[in-house]
Structure 1
Amino acid sequence: MASTYKDHTIVCGLGKVSLKIIRWILDLDEEAVVIEQHRDNPYLDEVRSWGVPVIIADARRPEVLEEVNIKYAESIVPGTNDDLVNLSIALQARQLVPNLKVVLRMSDTAMAENVRTGFDIYTTFSIPEISAPIFAAAATRAPLDHAFTYDEGGERGLLTITKFVLVKESLLVGYTVGQLEDEFDVAVVAHRQDGKFNLHPANDTVLKAGDRFIVSASIEGVNQIAEYTPPRREVDRYHRGRWPIKGSEERRVNSE
């Protein structure tokens, strides 16, 4: 069955990270094929239950890659726990299909950078490099959901992604998206209102109580908005009186 696939992603190695990668690929309405070397892998049944073909073999062997129709694949993700095995798979794949997109998982940050520059595999991701900003940002007081780094023109920093719920007591009710972005120096990347979800909502969109919105911002920007309405994951604490917001009592009195 795997030999009939086209425009698919080949995932090599089945572990906790690979499992999430496969699930996301399927959720994006794309197709995946898995190559796993060990028959006793505990995730095999789950992946197969999703309708994903699994080949039990060594992904470093060219005949195995040909068996999963690598010449017609969209990409390959060497995702084992061994950096050298992943690199070996990537190089073998590139030998068979020189222009194939390789998304390479690595644990060694320095090695990942060397692979990017030395082997022309620029979609090489170091797990510590990706996870470190999230852990560092989460260790601050910022109630963020995700974080990633930027390094442009010598400036290095963190950007965050955070989901907020606009409670009826918030002074932000009645703001437009443009006003929110200008006042707090954030970017509203998505907005849900009356059951309708919009990416990049218009600047003149008026925010109403009960709306949900996602912002990309600095840690400072996230903290400032959180002073006026709770992040989604803190809504329960807000209703229990454990997440105070500015102006809530004033708005409550005025509404009465």
Structure 2
Amino acid sequence: MNRPRSPLSRRIRATWRDSILLLREFIGPLSVFGLAFIGGGLLYYRLSVGTPGELDGPAEGIYVALTMTFFQAGIDFPHEPYLQAFFFLMPLIGFILLAQGVADFGALFFNRRSRGKEWAMAVASMYNDHIILVGLGHLGFQVLLNLHNIGQDVVVIEQDPNADLLSQSQALDVPVIVDDAQREVTLDAAGVARARAIVLCTQNDSLNMQVAVKARAINPNIEVVVRIFDYDFASAIQKQFGFTAMSASSISAPSFAAAAAGMEMTRPIMIQGQPMNLARLVVSASSRLPSMTYGEVEKTFNVSVVLRQSGEETDYHPPSEALVTGGETIAILGEMTNIAKVMEYNKTAPVSKRGKGKRKT
């Protein structure tokens, strides 16, 4: 994974690129202004030939026209009406074409956030090996916060952003491109060809799939994570396209069920297409677990004991031959149904062996 660039360095480079793009936007007015004073100067020189104020050459005519534009004519006011007109027309042309253009350029240059989309695209162009997030709803914003908190570079695409979520995202210095992610030009602006992954969090399964396919077509190596509402559809997509497809219902339903059952369990993570949970369990001394080794627990219930804590002592992935002890805390990784079996076993008292195996007298 590439180390994220310095935010200051990226901002300086983005400012430079945005300034170039801004100049390109004003190339039209600047060109017209240039043609106006060059053409006006050449025409003034031509008309001045044979008059008392005849100029020395075309270059002087261009210079005179330029100074007229800024109300600083370097020659005497002529007697000919057709030359006098230049003294009034050139300043007017200069004001319309130049002054207004400079004012607009300055306003946009020093207030770049007013050009939200263009500024976001300029910043995004500086990103490399980043993550693109499509969809800035409540789920998308939570994903953004988590990625930002672990130091990941993120570019967001959202066609119709919520004003509050947009302002919060911009406060994190995250570029938000307000445009349609289905357009290839939008994906290009977000740097999909250089991105490491794209996460699609909109509420439209069809849109998510269309954007996922386009992103993979542009960048065959990009990791695609798709939010799909239907669990079966998500499984089929994962098998057919190789995308990481996550069903909102399959993720949230186990959490609701675990809470209702009184289990202390994390939200599932997808491992090879299977949802896996991490659960915390305090071993009951009166249950059947203390009669087992950790290897027996893992084999019997098809789970992995990843941590054992007893007092101040912590053992990550305890040895399989070690005995489970009452009162210690263990962390179990596995499918929810298997974890539930372990927890049920932790509530069951050991079977009494009294009366069994008595010797005959």
Q: TM-score range by the shorter chain?
A: 0.5 to 0.7
DSSP 3-state at the match of 1:70: coil
Residue 34 of structure 1, aligned match among 128, 145, 156: 156
Q: Which amino acid aligns with 2:237?
A: V
Q: Residues 182 and 83 (structure 1 numbering): CA distance in 2 closer, same or farther, change over 3 Å?
A: same
CA distance in 1, matches of 2:187, 2:269: 34
DSSP 3-state at the match of 2:152: coil
Equivalent pairs counted in the alignment come to 217
Is structure 2 residue 293 aligned with structure 1 residue 179?
A: yes
Percent of aligned positions with the same letter in both sequences? 27
CA distance in 1, matches of 2:212, 2:275: 30
Is structure 2 residue 331 aligned with structure 1 residue 214?
A: yes
Residue 143 of structure 1, aligned match among 228, 244, 263: 263
Which entry has the higher C-alpha Rg, 1 or 2?
2
In the alignment, what sits opposite 1:98? 220
In the alignment, what sits opposite 1:12? 134
Does structure 2 retain, via aligned residues, the 8 Å contact 1:165–1:211?
yes
Superposed CA deviations along residues 4-40 of structure 1, whole A, max 9, x for unmatched, are: 1111110100122222222232344322221111243
In the alignment, what sits opposite 1:236? none
Is structure 2 residue 283 aligned with structure 1 residue 163?
A: no
Residue 128 of structure 1, aligned match among 230, 235, 249: 249
Post-superposition shift, 1:203?
Answer: 5.2
Q: Residues 182 and 75 (structure 1 numbering): CA distance in 2 closer, same or farther, change over 3 Å?
A: same
CA distance in 2, matches of 1:115, 1:158: 16
Q: Residues 170 and 33 (structure 1 numbering): CA distance in 2 closer, same or farther, change over 3 Å?
A: farther
Cα root mean square deviation, aligned: 3.9
Is structure 2 residue 182 aligned with structure 1 residue 60?
A: yes
CA distance in 2, matches of 1:5, 1:195: 44
Whose relative contact order is higher, 1 or 2, with alpha carbons under 8 Å and at least 6 apart?
A: 1
Post-superposition shift, 1:62?
Answer: 1.2
DSSP 3-state at the match of 2:202: coil
DSSP 3-state at the match of 1:6: coil
CA distance in 2, matches of 1:112, 1:81: 14
CA distance in 2, matches of 1:49, 1:201: 44
Post-superposition shift, 1:80?
Answer: 0.6
Post-superposition shift, 1:146?
Answer: 3.6
CA distance in 2, matches of 1:103, 1:40: 23
CA distance in 2, matches of 1:105, 1:63: 23
In the alignment, what sits opposite 1:71? 193
DSSP 3-state at the match of 2:199: strand
Superposed CA deviations along residues 185-208 of structure 1, whole A, max 9, x for unmatched, are: 552223567878765355588999
Q: Residues 224 and 122 (structure 1 numbering): CA distance in 2 closer, same or farther, change over 3 Å?
A: same
Post-superposition shift, 1:216?
Answer: 2.4
Which segments of 5 or more consecutive residues in structure 2 lack a partner in the other structure?
1-122, 350-361
Does structure 1 retain, via aligned residues, the 8 Å contact 2:295–2:321?
no
Higher strand share: 1
Q: Which amino acid aligns with 1:107?
A: F
Q: Which amino acid aligns with 1:56?
A: V
Higher helix share: 2
TM-score by length of 2: 0.49
In the alignment, what sits opposite 1:239? none
CA distance in 1, matches of 2:322, 2:171: 43
DSSP 3-state at the match of 2:293: helix
